[in-house]
Amino acid sequence: MAQRIKTGGRKKGTPNKTTALLRDAILQAATDAGDGDLVKYLQTQAEKNPTAFLGQLGKVLPLQVAGDGDNPLEMIHKIERVIVYPGD
């Protein structure tokens, strides 16, 4: 099957205008709710609504963490066996 050539539309990676407008409106509303300080508002939400805040935090954190070529990440794996006696 022949590969299709893209002839129109927006370029790859360009956000949808509606999505960009909505994101900007949400950020502005949060900034206004924090009296002009978005970080202050987010701190308040983290304290008052930790479940919702952490759910959103999970969506903005990267799925993978990678080091750069000069400073690769080092992984340390530790397996520990602990003997637990019944009744202790």
Residue type, 17: K
User: What contacts 25, CB < 8 A, 6 or more positions away?
Assistant: none
Strand blocks (E) in the chain = none
- Stretch 60-82: mean pLDDT, rounded? 79
Domain ranges of the chain: 17-60
Tally the C-alpha atoms within 13 A of residue 55's C-alpha that lie toward its C-beta. Answer: 5
pLDDT score recorded for residue 88: 67
Who wins on pLDDT, 45 or 9? 45
34 in Cβ contact with 41 (< 8 Å): yes
pTM listed for this prediction? 0.50
